[in-house]
Chains A and B, each alone.
Chain A
Amino acid sequence: MEKINFILFIAAVLLVPVSASSQPPLYQKCLLCHGRPGFKKMMPGGKVLELFVNKTELEHSIHSKLHCTDCHADVMEIPHSKTPGKVNCFRCHYKDNPNNAKPANEFFHSIHGRLLEKGDPKAPGCQDCHGGHNVQKVDSPLSTVNHQNVAFTCGKCHKQQYDNYIESIHGTALLDRHIQSAPTCTTCHGKHLILKPDNPEASIYPLNVLNVCSKCHENKELIKKYNIPGGRISTYRESFHGIADEFGSVRAANCASCHRAHFILPQSDPRSSINPKNLAKTCGKCHPNANVNFTKGKIHVNYKSKSTGILYYIGMFFEILTLSTLTLLFIHILLDLFRRYKAGELSKNHRHGE
């Protein structure tokens, strides 16, 4: 047996230069069983475990050049006698890997990673998002974590958020109109470093929400290209909510408090939280007894813009009044000083004359 293995090993080494680019030899050996469609096993409890591995899928994955046992490392002999355990991606993509430490390091810091380490059965591992045999580079349209596909992947667990997102302006822009600049889950939540909203490090922590939204909503190019309403971020920053947020109040309303996090819709949509019909309810979350008065006037007010009408003119009036008061007071003081100086000179001369 050992001899056969040795011969196989030599053969493998010799064959590698010829066939490695298409398929490693061990690959074929496994596919003798796992390449048969319908290869499955009945588990105790009646669950059926699909054991078929799609060869084409494997050949097109980013790991096409690896051997099966590179990942299924607990398989010591073929055919294997024991049921192999779950694949551990961290064997290669380990923490502090000098080539690319970021994904694993971030993952173990994230809520998913922490729950996984705690042994939460619902916590996702790498394969739950990236796929197993079909793992692809993120920019491949086939990748489960591609910009276009990742929402569906997250939605496998986060169903309600997914349902809201696909109805939202962001979801319809990306999924129906295929606008690649439109955000998906990872745009706001991050990729590997996903944290809970009550964690101050999270990108969606109340005080960080403005930064997340401003990446696009303060981007002049995007605003122009897609005709997004401008000045949203700057007006928020000047508002009471914005100033309180700037100085660290988590109670103050941030973007998502009014616009919602996933079910974001344009004002014109009757389902939108900022539709005039729903505004009293939205503001009422913090302002008790909010009524129709909240709809009489703009929310994102920039009184330096003529479109705000009376606010613009009153603001202007005060600016002019302030500037002119300042100027007149200065002139008055200067004249007074000047005359005192003159009078002083005169009295000196007088004394000299005497």
Chain B
Amino acid sequence: MNNRVQRLSLNQRIQHIVLLTSMIILLLTGLVLKFHNNVFSIWLIKREGGVWVRGLIHRTFAIVLILLAVYHIVWVTFTDEGHRELMAITPGRRDFSDFFQKLAYNLGLSDNLPRFEKYDYLQKFQYWGVVAGTIVMILTGLILWFVNQSMAVLPKWIIDLTLIIHGWDGVLIFIVLFLFHMYNVHLNPEVFPMSKTWLDGKISIERLKQDHLLEYERLISEKKDGKN
């Protein structure tokens, strides 16, 4: 019996894999530079082939990330699927009330769980967090990459500021992705050790019902309409 329904298309899954690969490598090669004064970073930088090769790897995967970002923008703007997904993940007023509802539920003030569409407020927060973070990283990263060219027009203190932002933004992305995302799709008792959605693109009907009830109901009615 097929109890798993399609959630992510192949296109989306490939985008996700490219994103996670470049992010992990960028963070591994980037954060060791920000926090270079510890045994782990020293060990890792040496494994990465020294500080120069580290930079080369960092910039190579920066290009991968930039290409992905460009592709993603084209995809959400010009394809039906992309546009539909963009609309689905765009936050609305409802997400704020969902958040408070979930908070009240978690605190034991209410017994009603909020009902979610395809993307709940947390998934939206993560998506837009990564989008904003990536834009900042690409812009500041380019300034630092082409430091001789950027210093032709920018004063030294802006470069210093760029460096601070680039470093801290990396830390923030790390926290959001690796702590929050880890919990939601890996360590969460319901999906432990890992949600398989990112591989086969499917979600079980039970989880769909539980976590995305509105989407479930919509899918059911669409199916009925299709049959009629």
Contacts of B159 in A (CB 8 A): 297
Q: From the candidates B103, B108, B160, name the one contacting A301 in the complex (CB within 8 A).
A: B160
Q: Would you list which residues of chain A between 287 and 314 have a CB under 8 Å from chain B? A: 287-291, 293-299, 301, 303, 308, 310-311, 314
- Rounded to whole angstroms, the CA-CA distance of A16 and B164 in the bound complex is 77
- Rounded to whole angstroms, the CA-CA distance of A249 and B52 in the bound complex is 8
Q: Please choose the segment from A147-155, A158-166, A256-264, A330-338 that sits at the chain B interface, where 4 or more of its residues have CB less than 8 A away.
A: A330-338
CB of B73 within 8 A of chain A? no
Q: What string of 1s and 0s marks CB contacts (under 8 Å) between A318-354 and chain B?
A: 1101100110011001011111101000000000000
- Rounded to whole angstroms, the CA-CA distance of A301 and B161 in the bound complex is 10
Q: Which residue of B lies closest to A309 (CB)?
A: B157
Q: From the candidates B108, B156, B176, name the one contacting A295 in the complex (CB within 8 A).
A: B156
Q: Please choose the segment from B16-24, B60-68, B165-173, B213-221 that sits at the chain A interface, where 4 or more of its residues have CB less than 8 A away.
A: B165-173
Contacts of A337 in B (CB 8 A): 189
Q: Which residue of A lies closest to B107 (CB)?
A: A335
Known A-B contacts A294-B156, A322-B171; A247 and B51 likewise in contact (beta carbons under 8 Å): yes
Number of residues on chain B facing chain A (CB within 8 A): 38
Contact B148 A296 (CB under 8 A): no
CB of B26 within 8 A of chain A? no
Contacts of A303 in B (CB 8 A): 160, 164
Q: From the candidates A295, A314, A329, name the one contacting B164 in the complex (CB within 8 A).
A: A314
CB of B1 within 8 A of chain A? no
Contacts of A318 in B (CB 8 A): 164-165, 168-169, 171-172
Q: What string of 1s and 0s marks CB contacts (under 8 Å) between B185-216 and chain A?
A: 00001100000000000000000000000000
- Rounded to whole angstroms, the CA-CA distance of A248 and B49 in the bound complex is 11
- Closest chain-A Cβ to B170's Cβ sits at a distance in Å of 10
Known A-B contacts A243-B33, A247-B51, A287-B148; A310 and B161 likewise in contact (beta carbons under 8 Å): yes
- Rounded to whole angstroms, the CA-CA distance of A319 and B45 in the bound complex is 24
Known A-B contacts A297-B155, A311-B157, A339-B106; A288 and B148 likewise in contact (beta carbons under 8 Å): yes
Interface size class of A (residues with CB under 8 A): 35 or more
Contacts of B179 in A (CB 8 A): 326, 329-330, 333
Contact B51 A296 (CB under 8 A): no
Contact B156 A322 (CB under 8 A): no
Contact A293 B164 (CB under 8 A): no
Contact B155 A296 (CB under 8 A): yes
Q: What string of 1s and 0s marks CB contacts (under 8 Å) between A260-297 and chain B?
A: 00000000000000000000000000011111011111
Q: From the candidates B51, B107, B147, B152, name the one contacting A243 in the complex (CB within 8 A).
A: B51
Contacts of A167 in B (CB 8 A): none
Q: Which residue of B lies closest to A294 (CB)?
A: B156
Q: From the candidates A248, A287, A299, A314, name the one contacting B147 in the complex (CB within 8 A).
A: A287
Q: Which residue of B lies closest to A312 (CB)?
A: B164
Which secondary structure dominates where chain A touches chain B?
helix
Contact B106 A325 (CB under 8 A): no
CB of B71 within 8 A of chain A? no
CB of B151 within 8 A of chain A? yes
Contact B175 A311 (CB under 8 A): no
CB of B36 within 8 A of chain A? yes
Contact B155 A322 (CB under 8 A): no
Q: What string of 1s and 0s marks CB contacts (under 8 Å) between A20-50 and chain B?
A: 0000000000000000000000000000000
Contact B50 A247 (CB under 8 A): yes
Contact B183 A322 (CB under 8 A): no
Contact B183 A293 (CB under 8 A): no
Contact A340 B189 (CB under 8 A): yes
CB of B40 within 8 A of chain A? no
A residues near B (Cβ < 8 Å) are: 243-244, 246-249, 287-291, 293-299, 301, 303, 308, 310-311, 314-315, 318-319, 321-322, 325-326, 329-330, 333, 335-340, 342
- A293-B152, A318-B164 given. 14 additional CB < 8 A pairs? A244-B51, A287-B148, A289-B152, A294-B151, A295-B156, A297-B156, A298-B160, A299-B156, A303-B160, A314-B164, A318-B172, A325-B172, A326-B179, A339-B108
Subset of 12 A-B contacts with CB under 8 Å: A243-B51, A246-B36, A246-B51, A249-B52, A294-B156, A301-B160, A310-B157, A310-B161, A321-B168, A329-B180, A339-B106, A340-B190
